Amino acid sequence: MRITEYRRAFDIILNFAERFKVRRKERVRLDESLGRIVAEDIHAPIDIPPFDRATMDGYAVVAADTFYADEDSPAELSLLGEVRAGEFPDVRVERGTCVAISTGAPIPEGADSVVKVENAEDLCEKVRIFKSVAPSENVQRAGSDIRKGELIISEGTLLTPCRTGVLAACGINEVVVRGKPRVAIISTGDELVDPLNMGDGKNDGQKDAPLPKGKIYDVNMRTLSDAVSVCGCVPLPLGIACDDADDVLGKMEEAVRKADIIIISGSTSAGKTDIVPTIIYEHGELVLHGVDIKPGKPLAFGIFRGKPIFALPGNPTSALLSFSLFVAPLLYKCSTAAYPTQIKPAIKSTASTAAAFSTAEEGILKNRTVKARTTMRIISEKGRNEFIFVRLSVEGDMMLATPVLKGSGAITTLADADGYIFVEKGREIIEEGEQVEVFLQPALTDEVRR
Amino acid sequence: MRITEYRRAFDIILNFAERFKVRRKERVRLDESLGRIVAEDIHAPIDIPPFDRATMDGYAVVAADTFYADEDSPAELSLLGEVRAGEFPDVRVERGTCVAISTGAPIPEGADSVVKVENAEDLCEKVRIFKSVAPSENVQRAGSDIRKGELIISEGTLLTPCRTGVLAACGINEVVVRGKPRVAIISTGDELVDPLNMGDGKNDGQKDAPLPKGKIYDVNMRTLSDAVSVCGCVPLPLGIACDDADDVLGKMEEAVRKADIIIISGSTSAGKTDIVPTIIYEHGELVLHGVDIKPGKPLAFGIFRGKPIFALPGNPTSALLSFSLFVAPLLYKCSTAAYPTQIKPAIKSTASTAAAFSTAEEGILKNRTVKARTTMRIISEKGRNEFIFVRLSVEGDMMLATPVLKGSGAITTLADADGYIFVEKGREIIEEGEQVEVFLQPALTDEVRR
């Protein structure tokens, strides 16, 4: 393991984003396109509206017939019939005639404007007009909203309800969108059991799950799959590999066939079972192994059979923090190329420490922090860049940060924390009551609502 | 139509939230639970870790055997065997003996601590220990992270990747979550055609969709369904009803059977086809009809067969704005009761004008605004509370707001806008260069990424 400085590790990984950008396209139904990114410019196949429409209930007339009409000297026109929304008129309005029309109905040939119903009186075969209209008044012209052939959605646009609505208006029922990165997830460890395959793990808190002796439930498959979903990518959980090079290699080969990016957790420390970085080194390119942060030190990153692969620590808290710091930014960069809106979208990057990183692009790797005062003295290990998980509380106007004090292997650490503070290696002690910047865990806590 | 003041309308609608809160529960698989809200307290069915575990590779020993051991006078212990992660030891460590152990493996009976591998030397049947350990050193105790029976997730908690991870750790593979509100959506209008049912509306911009003469594609079914999804609810698109009381009533009855909340758009103005409010009035309770805002004036709200029903204008821009102002807040209130995190989640409410409303609850109806300068003089109709859609741009340090000038029926207005400004009825003119507050359209633009 040759430790890489954390900012440099971030740069090295992000520099691969362009190479691994997912350029696959897929065609989806319009009613499944919300939130997807359009992969091709879309032009309007028809005019919107498709015909001149009345914008008011009233009478379609030739405007010239109404000139000088008022309460005292109304114009009188012959009523030819009626056209309602959804009908297509087969009459022609000549001078001296009119047609009753409802909002949204097509303007009959010959007519050029609509007199509102409240400015007219229906005398059965005749209609009295009490107010003049100008040509085009109360008429929405064909193509005035969208003209046939016009660019309506450009490549790279995020489909929002407004924009799917524009496509619906044009009768477009399928749309070509960018493929989401597919992320294979592999857990390694002889001690792991997949909780999804256990029969009776009901959440009534009463039954013991039949966990074999010496085994534990695999946590990382769940947390990493869900974190991948939060990043807008498709998780492909490939299950658990034993601490055996052939088994791990087999899963990695399967991952290469199915996914764009590979995440494998466990077996990355320097013990007897340091299998994954070795396989990456022997069968691909081990770009880095070891980063000067705690937790998360044994991170490895490389290229295996042409696909980027992350080897994360087995400890769930370390795995999820490493994901948030190094994997999520790459996922975002590989999936979203450009946002056309002038307001940068607040993409919910998990790269909450982006501010700490040199190349963090504003907007893409936006992070949210709050200032808080510590409720106790915090001692960080000397010479270590350390992340300390904290829970936030509010006291009056003040935000308070309390470290989550769990053992290093605790699964509950992240679940109990609202965010973390980052103590650079030059510092050892943060005094009680000192103001610190807390990086919230956006993608990992409150941004996942579905 | 009896016009209700907009703040009062908001209050009236939101006051129904408690009555219509969705209390249905459903059981989902753990791997489909991300982003859902837990409906019952969950207690740990097992200890985590389930057994005392080694946190280091090394030798499981009786600590007392290592006291006073150092480089010069190492302790020497008999090696009984090895236990690896995933195995369960069948040996008992007595005084004077030890067992080789890997990280994560169960501590054998009799042993109370682990000597790190780097502080020992393996002599085949003997092991030399060069450093003393204290009892419990390098051991993670059973139940130290989570104790069996402990409350691990409380009712009302949002499931994040960290929290699904805690459930996975306990072997829980199903979870009881709150049901999402089901929202029936009905479009009305003889002129409407469902774009999803058209055969060849490909987005290659070349083919004309075979739209019958006088018809237009239904936009609201798409925009409202997608907006409902953005609010974390389940849209049930029920299709198009004709401008016919029996047809509309039939769809409304279907909606009552299938959904918790009903949205119907079109046919709400005071013309010949003012069907929906009349049906609500005749078959239920018409709570309000007409609000003093533009666009969005013809909003109606009522109770039909015990279910809340919104009648929105047919114009897509007005419909979506009305949804954002009045429907979305009710959806949020009906679906989320409480957030246990101390940091209020930035729920992406569509109620962007919440600040303008009297009872807007901070946190639940949080809105995002930006300050910008107008690029042109804006004239609002006198005596009207008007929403003016604007597009934002950046010039140097300044944010600029330019009105989206499209006809009132334009479908593209909302899609082109980044947000809107609200001009209260006392004001008529906003000068060019004046600073205004722009309400962003969070749920309608950039928060829908999937």
What ipTM score was computed for the predicted complex, to two decimals?
0.85
Q: Are residues B202 and B277 in the same domain?
A: yes
Residues B207 and B246 reside in one and the same domain = yes
Per-residue pLDDT at B351: 34
Is the domain of A163 the same as that of A212?
Answer: no
Q: Which residues of A touch B30 (CB under 8 A)?
A: 195-196, 222
For residue B271, give the nearest of A45, A103, A164 by CB distance. Answer: A103
Structure tokens, A99: 């047609």
Please identify every stretch of chain A with a pLDDT value under 50, giving residue numbers as ranges: 199-208, 270, 337-366, 443-450
Q: Given an 8 Å threshold on Cβ–Cβ distance, is A50 in contact with B216?
A: yes
User: B393: which strand partners?
Assistant: B400
Q: Does A103 touch chain B (CB under 8 A)?
A: yes
CA distances from B60 to A56, B54, B71, B103 (A): 87, 8, 19, 11
CA distance B361 to B354: 8
Question: Would you say A437 and A371 are in contact if contact means Cβ atoms under 8 Å apart?
Answer: yes
Q: First CA to last CA across chain B, in angstroms? A: 40
Q: Out of B11-20, B82-91, B329-338, B437-446, which region has the weakest mean confidence (pLDDT)? A: B437-446
Give how far A326 is from chain B: nearest CA, Å. 17
Q: Which one of B324, B350, B411 would you mutate to disrupt binding with A, by most A Cβ within 10 Å of its Cβ?
A: B411
Here the tokens at position A271 are 């013990």
Tokens of B281: 């009035």
pLDDT band at B438 (very low <50, low <70, confident <90, very high): confident
Q: What pLDDT sits at residue A361? A: 33
Pairing of strands B126-129, B120-122: antiparallel
- Please indicate if any CB of chain A lies within 8 Å of the CB of B190: yes
B368 vs A437, higher pLDDT:
A437
Token reading at A86: 């959804």
* Nearest by CB: A341 against B85, B316, B446: B446
A350 at interface of B, judged by CB pairs closer than 8 A: no
> Which pair of tokens denotes residue B125?
């049947």
Residues A115/A66, Cβ–Cβ less than 8 Å: yes
Q: What is the pLDDT of residue A273?
A: 57
Chain B interface, best mutation among A226, A233, A339, A349, by max B CB count within 10 A: A226
Nearest to B308 by CA among B8, B12, B6: B12
Q: How far is CA B388 from CA B360, B403, B417, in A?
A: 21, 7, 10
Confirm whether A363 is domain-assigned: no
Contact A171 B449 (CB under 8 A): no
Please answer whether residues B380 and B388 qualify as being in contact, where contact means their C-beta atoms are separated by less than 8 angstroms: yes
- Contact yes or no for A341 and B394 at CB 8 A: no
Q: Which are the contacts of B292, defined by CB distance < 8 A and separation ≥ 6? A: B3, B4, B5, B6, B384, B385, B425
Boundaries of domain holding A99: 53-140
Contact A374, A438 (CB under 8 A): no
Q: Among residues B156, B178, B200, which one ends one of the domains?
A: B178
Give the count of beta carbons closer than 10 Å to the beta carbon of residue B200: 13
Spell out which residues of chain B touch residue A446, defining contact as CB-CB under 8 Å.
158, 160, 339, 341, 343, 345-346
Give the Cα separation of B192 and B239 in Å (integer). Answer: 10
Supply the pLDDT for residue A236: 98
- Chain A residues in contact with B222 (beta carbon < 8 A): 30-31, 161, 164-165, 167-168
Predicted local distance difference test score (pLDDT) of residue A105: 93
Average pLDDT of span B231-243 = 92
Nearest to A411 among B166, B201, B213 (CB): B166
Is A43 in CB contact (< 8 Å) with chain B?
Answer: yes
Contact B45 A140 (CB under 8 A): no
- Reduce the DSSP state of residue B247 to 3 states and report it: helix
* CATH number for the domain that contains residue A298: 3.40.980.10
For A406-416, write each residue's pLDDT tens digit. 766 678 887 88
**Angle at CA B361, nearest 5°, toward B355 and B367?**
40
Same domain as B122, residue B104:
yes
**In this structure, is residue A340 part of a structural domain?**
no
Q: Which letter does DSSP use for residue B168 in this model?
A: H
Contact flag B167-A203 (C-beta cutoff 8 Å)? yes
Give the CATH number of the domain where residue B163 resides: 3.90.105.10
Whether residue A278 sits in one domain with residue A199: yes
User: Considering the domain boundaries, does residue B450 fall inside one?
Assistant: no
Say what angle helices B245-258 and B276-283 make with each other, to 10 degrees.
60
Residues of chain B numbered 1-40 and touching chain A (CB < 8 Å): 29-31, 34-36, 40
Of A36, A145, A346, the CB nearest to B412: A145
- Which residues are bridge partners to A308 per DSSP? A303
A135 in contact with chain B, both atoms CB, cutoff 8 A: no
Instruction: Report the first-to-last Cα separation within chain A, whole angstroms.
Output: 40
Do B278 and B174 fall within a single domain? no
- The count of CB pairs under 8 A between chains A and B is 416
Query: For A161, which of B230, B393, B412 is closest by C-beta distance?
Result: B230
B173: which chain A residues are within 8 Å (Cβ-Cβ)?
Answer: 195-198, 201
Query: Within a domain: residue A101?
Result: yes
Looking at the complex, does the CB of residue A195 fall below 8 Å from at least one CB of chain B? yes
Pairwise pLDDT comparison (B348 vs B423), residue with the higher score: B423
The token duo for A152 is: 């309506």
Give all strands (DSSP E) within B30-146, no chain letters: 42-43, 53-54, 58-61, 75-83, 97-101, 113-116, 120-122, 126-129, 139-140
Residue-wise pLDDT tens digits, B191-234? 999 998 864 444 444 444 589 999 999 999 999 999 898 888 89
Using an 8 Å Cβ cutoff, are B124 and B10 in contact? no
CB proximity A102 to B under 8 Å = yes
Residue A145 is encoded by which pair of tokens?
């909203």
* pLDDT, average across residues B303-326: 92
Q: Do B174 and A237 touch (CB under 8 A)?
A: no
Buried-exposed string B368-401: b where 16+ CB fall within 10 A, e elsewhere: bbeebebbeebebeeebbbbbbbbbeeeeeebbb
Q: Tell me, yes or no, whether B206 and B316 share the same domain.
A: yes
Q: Is the peptide bond before B295 cis (omega within 30 degrees of 0)?
A: yes
B192 and B331 part of one domain: yes
Choose the closest CB to B342 out of A196, A271, A393: A393
Using CA atoms, how far apart are residues B308 and A379, in angstroms rounded to an integer? 56
pLDDT band at B415 (very low <50, low <70, confident <90, very high): confident
What totals of helices (H) and strands (E) does chain B contain, helices first?
9, 28
What residues contact residue A20 under an 8 Å CB cut-off, 6+ apart?
A: A260, A261, A307, A308, A330, A334
CATH number at residue B67: 2.170.190.11
**Confidence band for B329, pLDDT divided at 50, 70 and 90:** confident
| A445 lies in some domain | no
Q: Are residues B219 and B295 in the same domain?
A: yes
The reply to whether A360 falls in a domain is no
A160 vs B342, higher pLDDT? A160
Mark A98-132 as b/e (b = at least 16 C-beta within 10 Å).
Answer: bbbbbbbbbbbebbbbbbbbebbeeeeeebebbeb
Give the B window 210-229 contacts with A, CB below 8 Å. 211-227, 229
Beta carbons of B341 and A445 less than 8 Å apart: yes
- In this structure, the answer to whether residues B197 and B233 fall within a common structural domain is yes
What is the pLDDT at residue A209? 53
Give dist(CA B227, CA B236) in Å, integer. Answer: 12
Residues in B touching A203 (Cβ below 8 Å): 40, 42, 167, 172, 174-176
The pairing of beta strand B58-61 with beta strand B113-116: antiparallel
Q: Which residue of B has its CA nearest to A152?
A: B412
Q: Which of B171, B407, B410 sits opposite A209 (nearest CB)?
A: B171
Structural domains of chain B, count: 4
**Which chain B residues touch A316 with a CB distance below 8 Å?**
165, 169
The alpha carbon of residue B410 is apart from the nearest alpha carbon of chain A, in Å, by: 5
* Contacts with B369 (C-beta within 8 Å, 6 or more apart), sequence order: B352, B355, B419, B437, B438, B439, B440
**Can you give the pLDDT at residue B207?**
47
In degrees, rounded to 5, the angle at the alpha carbon of residue B27 between the alpha carbons of residues B21 and B29 is 130
Q: What are phi and psi of B66, to 5 degrees?
A: -100, -10
Chain A hits for B202, CB-CB cut-off 8 Å, are 172, 174
Other CB atoms within a 10 A radius of the CB of residue B358 amount to: 9
Residue with the larger pLDDT of the pair A448 and B389? B389
pLDDT of residue A348: 28
Whether chain A has a CB inside 8 Å of the CB on B405: the answer is no
A85:B190 CB<8 A: yes
Going by C-beta distance under 8 Å and a sequence separation of 6 or more, which residues neighbour residue A371? A399, A435, A436, A437, A438
Label the pairing between strands B369-374 and B435-440: antiparallel
Q: Is A207 within a domain?
A: yes
Subunit contact A102:B273, Cβ cutoff 8 A: yes
Evaluate whether residue B197 is within a structural domain. yes
Q: Rounded distance, CA B326 to CA B6, Å?
A: 10
Q: Testing the interface with B: which of A236, A418, A450 to mutate, by most B Cβ within 10 A?
A: A450
Residue B225: its H or E element: helix B220-230
Residue A38: closest CA among A20, A26, A48, A47: A26
Structure tokens at B369: 């605004």
Read off φ and ψ for residue B167, nearest 5 degrees.
-65, -40
Interface test with B, best of A51, A191, A203 (most B CBs within 10 A): A203
For the segment A156-174, what is each residue's pLDDT rounded down to a tens digit? 888 888 899 999 999 999 9
* Candidates B82, B151, B173, partner chain A, best to mutate (most A CBs within 10 A): B173
Q: What is the pLDDT of residues B17-57, one digit of tens each?
A: 889 989 899 999 999 999 888 999 999 999 999 999 999 99
Kindly list the residues from chain B whose CB atom is less than 8 angstroms away from the CB atom of residue A412.
48, 145-146, 152, 166
Same structural domain, A235 and A327 = yes
What's A391's domain CATH number? 2.40.340.10
Touching A: B residues 268-327, CB under 8 Å:
269, 271-273, 314, 316, 320
| Interface touch A346/B229, C-beta < 8 Å | no
Residues B172 and B30 in one domain: yes
Q: How many CB atoms lie within 10 A of CB A272?
A: 15
Strand A182-188, strand A234-241: pairing? parallel
Q: Could you tell me how many residues make up chain B?
A: 450
DSSP B204: T
Structure tokens at A175: 């749309």
CB atoms within 10 A of CB B93: 25
Residue ranges of alpha helices (H) inside B2-48 are 6-14, 17-20
Which of A147-161, A408-422, B163-177, B283-297 is predicted with the least confidence, judged by mean pLDDT?
A: A408-422
3-state secondary structure of B109: strand
Q: Residue B314's closest chain A neighbor by CA?
A: A104
Last residue of a domain, one of B92, B113, B140: B140
Query: In the predicted model, is pLDDT for residue B298 greater than 70?
Result: yes
| Residue of B187, B417, B231, B401 whose CA lies nearest to B317 | B417
Give the closest residue to A66 by CA, choosing from A85, A90, A93, A87.
A93
